[in-house]
Chains A and B, each alone.
Chain A
Amino acid sequence: MKKKVSIKINGKMYEREVEPRLTLVDFLRHEIDLTGTHVGCEHGVCGACTVLINGHSGRSCLTFAVQADGAEITTVEGLAAADGELNALQQSLRDNHGLQCGFCTPGVLISLTELLRDNPDPSEEQVRDVLTGNLCRCTGYAGIVAAALETARRAHGEARS
């Protein structure tokens, strides 16, 4: 009944025997103890469970762990530097008060990480469009949008100079 999976998560390989119905987010949270990725709705709307699957953002609540067999996953725990220093996007979210309860924040960080990688200089409209995949009940999004734009601007400024 159980099936063996091998998944690379934040650069490290994990092998486990899992039930086919185990979701990827439950695998991350309860099998690997990476509890940074959160479950908000279990039907793919809220985006709290968003992780990068082979470089693309995906809903870990709508993905089974067996579907991620052989995949490379990045979770929020994989974003900060090894010494724990926040990366530019994380720091900017703090500076711009882009989080309150912090429950949606891991998913927001993953979505924006993908956006800024693929489009280093997004418009506000593009940022807001991407963020429609992440519901935040606390912040009203203003700080999150400001943080994304500031991160892009800084990266852009540094690249130019």
Chain B
Amino acid sequence: MGVKLFGARVARLEDPALLSGKGRFVDDVKLPAMLHACFVRSPHAHAFIRGIDTSAAKALPGVHAVFVADDLPAPMSGNRMPMLVPNPAIATQLTQYCLAREEVCYVGQTVAVVIADSRYIAEDAAALVDVDYEPLPAASDCREAAEPGSPRVHSELQNNIASKFRQSYGDVDAAFASATHIFEEDIWQHRGGGMAMETRAVVGDFDPVRDLLTVWSATQTPHIGRRMLADLIDRNLESIRFIAPDVGGGFGPKAIFYAEEAVIPAVAMKLRRPVKWIEDRREHFLCATQERDQYWKVAIGVDHNGKIKGVRGTLLHDTGAFVPWGIIMPYIAGATMPGPYVIPAYGLDVTVVLTNKVATTPVRGAGRPQAVFAMERLMDRVARELGLDPAEVRFRNLIQPEQMPYSVGLTFRDGKPLIYDSGDYPQAQREALRLVNYDTFKERKAALLAKGRFVGLGIANYVEGTGLGPYEGVTVRVLPSGKVAVATGATNQGQGTRTTISQIVADQVGCRIEDIVITIGDTAAISQGVGAFASRQAVNAGSSAKIAGGTVRTQIVKLAAQALGLPEGDIEIEDGVAFGRGGNKPSISFRDLYRLAQGMPGFSLAPGQTAGLEHTAYFTPPQASYCSGTHVVELEVDPMTGAVKFLNYAVAHDSGTIINPLIVDGQVQGGVAHGIGNALLEWMKYDENAQPLTITLADYLLPMATDVPTCKIAHIESPTPLNPLGVKGAGEGGTIPAPAAIIAAIEDALSEFGVHFTETPLMPDRIVAALKDAGAYEKLKVVA
């Protein structure tokens, strides 16, 4: 075999096109006679629709059609959208209609759609659609919405509780009865958006000759999209093709199937013209799903050494107006809370609450940042109250490597027992502490404090369930040219899927990576697919690539042995050529093998030979694989302005075997940036009527280059036994513990003043307000 690509820092195959402006995103799709769409959206968080007058909009020159719910094809017009992850624990099976019928339940909900010659005209016309609304009281805050008598999110429901369930193990009451100390915290992590730089986008094109409906969508899940659309317009699956071309970031919200993805293709079919809709940034703020809002009330019981006896509490989850993705986020949150610690007893009562806001579905981390924030805030509280070093308290409670596999006692979101498959949690914490010279931190802090500078350090550990099923597939096929075609249902929103899958296949088959021809995100290329969420693609598609590539290699060896008259054991493969190991090294190229593999018309294939050199594998994981890690953050706070400056950011993470360190480092670093946004900047503000107030990037702040430090990254590789590559997910671990570590560091930096923070985002004004309340400025004056 040639140079092994697996594990190497292979430069990405995606890059040359993207660097020269030749990427192909949905808005780059230009079709003859294409029309453009603009949606009419609800300006109210809650209202009845009394009537819609579209006559003025239809009369505008350049407008081709205006559709309301009844104009859509059946069953889409009268049916609610399918729920992606149903669960018997969901009391309220509510998803929205593609276009609203009698009631709208959040600002931005789709009410009608205008189709015109250009987006400019479509927007003009959308403003002329006259909707007669009867505004209704709205529920904005999930804590109030959960109370009896609060405004109802949907007029047809009796209350706003979408689901209630309990996650627990052990004797929680006995554990707390035996605890020496009990500490309680109220914790809130606030919602924010995925905010991919490319907004959502859909193009629909119907070809009546082939009876084929083609949909380009900036989606993470094209196969799921195809299935949903087929259900909504009652159409044969094979007569719909979904394509996710280059996609400009996903981060979770693009994994959802949206009303717009259903309406645009349906309209294109009806009008027999291609139709394009490109979401603008305002629409992204209003209608792309968001995540995080969770209120935790949790308590920890410990003995006099800080050893955990038990953890218990309640969790209130804001699901927004609908439940399109089920209740997996609060479910994941509850299952993530125990994390890397030995917790003998655990109990969490979860309530999922509807509000008149856009639905919450997974955003990078998906329920885990909240859980880690809650658990790590408790650990810091224990350290402070008992006068222990925060690192030491954690070391005393971490699951030890010899305890692996470790059964937590809960059921995870995949329906399987929560069993950590592998990992060395103390090692990760040691590595991360080493990267920031933890041993000398206290001296550094004291020296700087003497100069009036406030430096702090925060630690956060996490365990993350990754690589969820059901499966992902890869087809490997030798082409007539001798190149190797690869197709997968896995998708690419910047994760380098094209490169990592190609690395694996090239190694397995024995060809140059340049000779891989890969098709990603196209339902026409492979029959089954799932897509990108839950850091699952390297695990599932990667394993399928190994299995499919390995099978094709076996086929090649067999055929080459026959062709060269050698035993199979003497065949080697390199750079697309199979050759005999000994003697004069007779050889045969993939190109010639392809022809042999086709057989001859009228003649049978040799016994055991299959048609072509081709195999499709669909790897399905037996359960989630659990990656883990530690973030250690050193930062400085300016107490006068509340500004936070990072001095050191260390990440030690274990995502199992690493396929491409360049890409994993990028995933970690990028994930940290998202976590910094959640911790310090990103605030999706709604008023008391659930009207969104932050709908531009000027008032909803994303991390900039001056906000994000370059991380020091250490890889701990504990290969999982759950798949043939030993890989675990890598996309979300950068985000998950970041807010916990950052807030802890800010609190530590300001420890002189005894301020305590249990919410995010922690913005400068809130730091200043807390310092003011603590009388910090009186103390600072004395120092000055």
Contact = CB atoms under 8 A, between A and B. Distances in A.
B669 A142 contact: yes
Main secondary structure of the interface of A (DSSP, over half): loop
B710 interface: yes
B30 interface: yes
Given A101-B249, A132-B705, A143-B669, A45 B21 contact: no
Contacts of B78: none
B590 interface: no
Interface in A90-148: 90, 93-95, 97, 99-106, 109, 127-129, 131-132, 134-146
A8 interface: no
B197 A43 contact: no
A29 B30 CA distance: 10
Interface in B2-18: 11-12, 14-16, 18
Given A77-B21, A100-B666, A140-B673, A40 B705 contact: no
B125 interface: no
Nearest to A41: B281
Contacts of A29: 27-28
Contacts of B669: 139-140, 142-143
Contact of A101 (B11, B196, B278, B698): B196
A86 B666 contact: no
B251 interface: yes
Interface in B387-436: none
Interface stretch (B309-317, B325-333, B493-501, B616-624): B493-501
Interface residues of A, number: 58
B588 interface: no
Contacts of A46: 197, 281, 697
A37 interface: yes
A93 B706 contact: no
A42 interface: yes
A21 interface: yes
A146 B666 CA distance: 12
Interface in A28-42: 29-30, 33-42
A142 B667 CA distance: 11
B248 A139 contact: no
A101 B198 CA distance: 9
B19 A129 contact: no
Contacts of A93: 15, 19
Interface string A39-63: 1111101101000000000000000
Interface residues of B, number: 57
A15 interface: no
A137 B197 contact: yes
B702 interface: yes
A135 B197 contact: yes
B672 interface: yes
Contacts of B249: 100-101, 103, 137-138
A155 interface: no
Contact of B248 (A42, A103, A142): A103
A21 B195 contact: no
Nearest to B9: A97
B35 to A, nearest CB: 13
B697 A102 contact: no
A127 B696 CA distance: 25
A140 B12 contact: no
A40 B197 contact: yes
B711 interface: yes
Nearest to A35: B28
A43 B120 contact: no
A86 B197 contact: no
Contact of B280 (A42, A84, A135, A141): A42
B666 A94 contact: no
Contact of A45 (B20, B697, B703, B734): B697
Nearest to B198: A103
Contacts of A36: 20-23
B699 to A, nearest CB: 10
A75 interface: yes
A80 interface: yes
Interface string B299-331: 000000000000000000000000000000000
Contact of B19 (A35, A90, A138): A90
B665 interface: yes
Contacts of B526: none
Given A75-B21, A102-B23, A104-B197, A95 B11 contact: yes
A17 interface: no
Contacts of A142: 669, 708, 710-711
A40 B23 contact: no
A135 B246 contact: no
A13 B698 CA distance: 35
A29 B703 CA distance: 28
Given A19-B120, A38-B198, A135-B197, A97 B704 contact: no
Contacts of A42: 280-281
A27 to B, nearest CB: 12
B662 interface: yes
B673 A141 contact: yes
B379 interface: no
A76 interface: yes
Interface in B239-258: 246-249, 251
Given A129-B706, A132-B705, A86 B16 contact: yes
A134 to B, nearest CB: 8
Contacts of A105: 18-19
A82 to B, nearest CB: 12
Contact of B21 (A106, A128, A129): A106
Contacts of A141: 673, 704-705, 708, 710
Given A86-B20, A137-B249, A139-B666, A131 B197 contact: no
Interface in B268-291: 278, 280-281
A79 interface: yes
A134 B278 CA distance: 21
B705 A38 contact: no
Contacts of B169: none
A136 B197 contact: yes
A38 B703 CA distance: 20
Q: With a 10 A CB-CB cut-off, give which of A29, A38, A145 has the most chain B CB atoms.
A: A38
A102 B662 contact: no
Interface in B119-169: 120
Contacts of A22: 120
A90 B20 contact: yes
Nearest to A134: B705
B196 A131 contact: no
B20 A100 contact: no
Interface in B684-720: 696-698, 702-706, 708, 710-711
B25 A103 contact: yes
A42 to B, nearest CB: 6
B30 to A, nearest CB: 7
Given A19-B120, A100-B496, A144-B705, A48 B696 contact: no
Nearest to B11: A94
B20 A43 contact: no
Nearest to B28: A35
Given A76-B21, A140-B703, 10 more contacts: A43-B696, A43-B697, A95-B11, A97-B665, A97-B666, A101-B196, A102-B15, A137-B196, A137-B251, A141-B704
18 contacts: A42-B280, A43-B698, A45-B696, A77-B21, A94-B19, A97-B12, A97-B665, A101-B197, A101-B248, A103-B248, A128-B706, A131-B706, A135-B697, A137-B674, A138-B666, A139-B670, A140-B703, A140-B734
Interface of A: 19, 21-22, 29-30, 33-43, 45-46, 48, 75-77, 79-80, 84, 86, 90, 93-95, 97, 99-106, 109, 127-129, 131-132, 134-146
Interface of B: 11-12, 14-16, 18-25, 27-28, 30, 120, 194-199, 246-249, 251, 278, 280-281, 493-496, 662-663, 665-666, 669-674, 696-698, 702-706, 708, 710-711, 734
Those 4 A-B pairs whose CB atoms lie nearest each other, nearest first: A36-B21, A103-B248, A102-B18, A101-B494
